[in-house]
Amino acid sequence: MTEFVSVVLSEHDGRAIARGPQPARIATLLLSRPPTNALTRQVCRELAEAAEEVGRLDDVCAVIVFGGHEIFSAGADMPELQTLDAAEADEAARVCQQAVDALAAVPKPTVAAITGYALGAGLTLALAADWRVSGDNVKFGATEILAGLVPAGSGAGRLAGAVGDSKAKDMVFSGRFVDAREALELGLIDQMVAPDGVYDAAATWAGRFLDYTPAALRAAKASFG
């Protein structure tokens, strides 16, 4: 039983996986830790376990990661971090990195459906997906420096991979917020929609892959290294 992350499986249009007997499904990793979906150690452990679970499901062709209709994730849970000693803080960073790596390693197309805010480690988590769909009112930020920290693990590298070194350094060094329109121009997101349409847009994006076998999609994703 998980507390903060659930796996929701849905059939889509009743179509069958190509050359297979079972209906194709989209899996949603639903993060629910109100009010900000802050990433505690427990949330990160559950995210990693959920990502590994959907990766093993043969009838799942695509995965959406969604923080609900209010907020994707405001990043690391600062009240928790402030209670940790140095060794515990290192462990928290390692667990967070495991969650990001587990999402990136899902052997299926993945789409982040982003509402509200994607900040700090929450932004890094979104960057671990293959594509990102956001509402037109979303704020993004590599905000760790505002707390005297730097992006943990692969955060800066993933951001640079999406927007280039110069823009990534601007965001990381300043901690400034980026609105959805600028995020689209930078290549940080792939589609911008009305706030109420974020999940549906992500589902449409993921639904494009339902006519292909998971094995073919796995091989195609692996070809990118």
In angstroms, what CA-CA distances link 53 with 27, 40, 85, 111? 10, 20, 31, 16
pLDDT tens per residue across span 52-107: 999 999 889 999 999 999 999 999 998 888 898 889 888 988 999 999 999 999 99
pLDDT tens per residue across span 110-163: 999 999 999 999 999 999 999 999 999 999 999 999 988 888 778 999 999 999
What is the fold, at CATH topology level, of the domain defined by 5-223? 2-enoyl-CoA Hydratase; Chain A, domain 1 (3.90.226)
User: Residue-wise over 35-52: b if at least 16 C-beta within 10 A, else e?
Assistant: ebbbbbbbbbbbbbebbe
Enumerate the domain spans of the chain: 5-223
> What value does the mean pLDDT take over residues 32-36?
96
Per-residue pLDDT at 2: 84
Our measurement of the distance from residue 3's CA atom to the centroid of its chain's CA atoms, rounded to an integer in Å, reads: 18
Q: Describe the chain by its helix, strand, coil percentages, rounded to 5.
A: 45, 25, 35
Sheet holding 23-31, edge to edge: 5-16, 23-31, 60-66, 110-114, 131-135, 191-193
| pTM (two decimals) | 0.93
> What is the rounded distance in angstroms from the CA atom of residue 49 to the CA atom of residue 43?
10
> What is the rounded distance in angstroms from the CA atom of residue 32 to the CA atom of residue 73?
10
Per-residue pLDDT at 4: 97
